[in-house]
Amino acid sequence: MRGEIRQIHPRKGGGSPGEPIPRRLAVIMAGDIAGYSRLMNIDEEGTHARLKRILREVVEPTIAEHHGRLVKTTGDGFIAIFDSPVEAVRCGIVIQQSMVGRNASVPAQQALLYRIGVNLGDVIVDSNEVFGDGVNIAVRLEGIATPGQVYISGGVYEQIKHKLVCGYQSLGDRQVKNITDPVRVYRVLPDPAAFMETQKRREIGFVVLASIVLLAIAGSLWYTMRPGRDLNVARSSAPAASAPETSRTTESAAAIAPSAAPAISPQGTSPASPQAGSFSPATPQGASPQPASPPSASPSVKEPEMAQLPGGSFSMGSNEDPSEKPVHQVAIKPFALSKFPVTVRQWNECAAANACEFTALGDENAPVTNVSWTDTKQYLGWLEQVTHKPYRLPSEAEWEYAARGGTQTKYWWGDQLQAGMANCKNCVAIASASADFPAKVGSFRPNPFGLYDMGGGVDQWVEDCWHRNYQGAPNDGSPWMDGDCVSHVIRSGSWKNDASYVRPANRDHYDTGVRYPTHGFRVALSP
Amino acid sequence: MKLVRLVMLGMVLAAASSYAAFAQGTPAPKDAALYFIWPLDGATLKGAFWCRFGLRNMGVTHAGDTFPNSGHHHLLIDVNEPIDSKEPIPQDKSHLHFGAGQTETRLELAPGKHTLQLVLGDAKHYPFNPPLISKKITITVK
Ligand SMILES: [Cu+2]
């Protein structure tokens, strides 16, 4: 099964003779499943399916998060390369820790346990293959590793010993086939305290085993008896309250466009009346011309109501938080932004078309929540397909420009917090607001650009990668994409955050692919 | 006697696991422990530093994954309010989520005294039952 990795291939296609072979130093990780053939004998299909899932859900994302590249997978194993030894070892630890969780739900004899070896060495990297002694040593380390553990070579150990707080246990020198010099081997103990634990392990093992068996029995019992196994909603939002609030669904069913009247009329100063943009109430006006043939896929889909924003220049940022500095001038081209965050009803049109992964719960006119940045791309792809318009997320600069609505004050209505202006934790107590869902979109006053809920309500994803401040930010309104894109920017703050999050300059971030119950988004369109 | 106790423990765990289907309160193993590998309680640090999370007898997984006995880390910075186990762990500048399975983070805090505390969250960011919370440590940034 593993033979194909062990042997050194001739380069595919040969290449032109005399062309230099690109060699480089890399950290190589080799992993394989202990006792794979035994597991395949017990349950070939099940084992194969489980392993594929683990590769997709654990191994691949973990390697990507640690800036590695999965070079190849074989029946039960994989080879990945990394630039950083620290990242590679950390990746190994995370894979092994994730597997502990996975294995907790299956009987011990069916547990899938990875053996992982990590080595630092000279390799030749092809598009989907990697060769050299460095690889052979990684595979050898993997071969001697105790299932569930990470073994590293002396070379890797030297690189990480002062950087990664782990326990390391030297296992002495090992001879590797076809390699002259012996290789020093270390076992990685992710938890330094694990050293002391080894003695107690046998005792604990029995408790764990007993609990696992009982858990498995209880789990399968529960699974078969579970009411309403609706798989479509399985990964969706609203953890505690799974039933939508029926009391509010009757209020306004027709359009998502609310009346201009805010839920609570503010006392004293009233904000400047909307003046910029076009505010045609009923017909959505896309900037780009309607295509000749109407969208055939889903003719009933209503396009989001958009506000046309004029171009302009504004001061982005503030001095209130280090992440908002330095204040810098940004030029914004004219664009359109949806007046409201995307609603549950809009999202569920996408879900009904099987283009969005889950069906959202809650009031139809509440903003959709529990969407990751990645999820928003599903919706946008679908919306573009049915409308033939390139809907997108706004850039962070566009979002702040839009939220300010032409003002430079702390909030768009001035420097003082006012009751009834936004849906946030301490802004005002709204009678209808529930803890689990935000208020319906448009429950508060629009800003001078005619935009609702730009601050409070739901956190809103924008296109940009997270950068911890504006040092080096673009000044042309484009999304800031370079850098480490494991985390994207969220704006607006949510109904669960306090008033400081309502400020248009406030910024925060969250892991790109992770869902959280206060996160939503709105859509933009270039003319 | 010992065996009886073990079976009882197993039954409690099993009961807890079926309960988890209907409400929050995903059960955590009794011997699970959440702690800071680094920094140490009372440490004085200069500028930015790495903060490393330790978890014993449970696995780290991604938010959204519902595998038993696994969760994701949350780091609470200067938080004084107690954790509400009936609510998702808040998401703001003092409640950091590590839903991609991270086991450490680089922190840059203003000079002065700060408290740090870890809370393990389940697939939907709720605390476990019983809550798996680290000791609250105090550090000083120079
Ligand atoms: Cu979380």
* Of A170, A162, A163, A159, the residue nearest A195 (C-alpha): A170
Do A98 and B15 lie within an 8 Å CB cutoff?
no
Tell me which chain B residue has its CA closest to the CA of residue A507.
Answer: B93
Whether A416 is in a domain gets the answer yes
Chain B partners within 8 Å of A218 (Cβ):
13-15, 17-18
Interchain CB contact of B111 with A (< 8 Å):
no
Is A272 a member of any domain? Answer: no
Provide the CATH topology of domain B2-141: Immunoglobulin-like (2.60.40)
- Cα–Cα distance for residue pair A237/A248, rounded to 1 Å: 18
| In-domain check, residue A9 | no
Q: In the listed set A160, A190, A220, which residue is the last one of a domain according to the structure?
A: A190
- Number of structural domains, chain A? 3
B82/B89 Cα distance (integer angstroms): 11
d(CA B91, CA B126) in angstroms, rounded, equals 12
| Chosen domain end from A190, A222, A238 | A190
Q: Could you report the predicted ipTM of this complex, rounded to two decimals?
A: 0.84
d(CA A85, CA A192): 19
Whether residue A512 lies inside any domain: the answer is: yes
B23 touches chain A (CB under 8 A): yes
Question: Quick check: A215 and B56 CB within 8 A?
Answer: no
Tell me how far the alpha carbon of residue A170 is from its chain's centroid. Answer: 37
**Can you give the residue range of the structural domain that contains A223?**
194-263
Give residue A513's pLDDT: 92
Distance CA B96, CA B53 (A): 13
Q: Find tokens 């605390």 and name the residue.
A: B127
Instruction: Look up the pTM and report it.
Output: 0.60
The CATH number assigned to the domain holding A56 equals: 3.30.70.1230
- Amino acid occupying residue B142: K
Do A212 and A176 fall into the same domain? Answer: no
Contact of B12 with chain A, judged by CB distance below 8 Å, is answered with no
Of A442-451, B6-15, B27-36, B50-59, give the lowest mean pLDDT range. B6-15
- Higher pLDDT among residues B81 and A261, named by residue: B81
CA B112 vs CA B42, B44, B47: distances in Å: 12, 9, 11
Angle between helices A344-352 and A373-387 (to 10 degrees): 70
A198 and A163 within one domain: no
How far apart CA A152 and CA A141 sit, in angstroms, is 7
* Ligand 1 centroid distance, CA of A505 (Å): 24
How many Å apart are CA B55 and CA B36, to the nearest integer?
9
pLDDT at A269: 35
Burial code (b: 16+ CB inside 10 Å, e: under 16) for A77-101 equals bbbbbbebbebbbbbbbbbbbbbbb
- Token readout for A112 is 């899938």
Residues of chain A found within 8 Å of residue B38, distances taken between Cβ atoms: 165
Q: In chain A, what residues touch B126 (CB-CB under 8 Å)?
A: 239
A100 and B59 in contact by Cβ < 8 A? yes
Domain map of chain B by residue range? 2-141
Q: Do A516 and B58 touch (CB under 8 A)?
A: no
- Which pLDDT tens digit goes with each residue over B85-136? 889 999 999 999 999 888 889 999 999 999 999 999 999 999 998 899 999 9
Residue at A510 is within a domain: yes
Q: Which has more pLDDT, A212 or B20?
A: A212
pLDDT, one tens digit for every residue, chain A (527 residues): 443 343 334 344 344 444 556 778 899 999 999 888 888 888 888 888 889 989 998 999 899 988 999 998 888 899 999 999 999 998 999 898 888 877 877 787 888 999 999 999 888 887 778 888 889 899 999 999 989 999 999 999 988 887 776 777 888 888 777 777 788 899 888 665 544 343 344 344 444 444 544 445 444 444 444 433 333 333 333 333 333 333 333 333 333 333 333 333 333 333 333 333 333 333 333 333 333 343 444 456 789 999 999 999 999 999 999 999 999 999 999 999 999 999 999 999 999 999 999 999 889 999 999 999 999 999 999 999 999 999 999 999 999 999 999 999 999 999 988 877 888 887 765 544 456 778 899 988 999 999 999 999 999 999 999 999 999 999 999 999 976 688 999 999 999 998 899 999 999 999 999 999 999 999 999 99
